[in-house]
Amino acid sequence: MNIGEVAKSSGMSAKMIRHYEETGLIRAAARTGSNYRVYSSRDVQVLRFVQQARHLGFSTRQIAVLLALWEDRSRSSREVKRLANAHIADLNSRIQELVDMRDTLMHLAKHCKGDSRPDCPILDKLVGGTH
pLDDT in tens, 8-40: 999 999 999 999 999 999 999 999 999 999 999
Q: Domain check: are 35 and 84 in the same one?
A: no
pLDDT score of 66: 97
Number of structural domains in the chain: 2
pLDDT score of 119: 87
What is the DSSP code string of 84-125?
A: HHHHHHHHHHHHHHHHHHHHHHHHHHHH---SSSS--HHHHH
Q: In the chain, what is the greatest distance between 2 CA atoms, to the nearest angstrom? A: 72
- Give phi and psi for 123, each to the nearest 5: -65, -35
Q: Domain check: are 5 and 66 in the same one?
A: yes
Instruction: Give residue 98's domain range.
Output: 77-131
Q: Domain check: are 8 and 31 in the same one?
A: yes
pLDDT in tens, 84-126: 999 999 999 999 999 999 999 999 999 999 888 888 999 998 9
Q: Domain check: are 23 and 39 in the same one?
A: yes
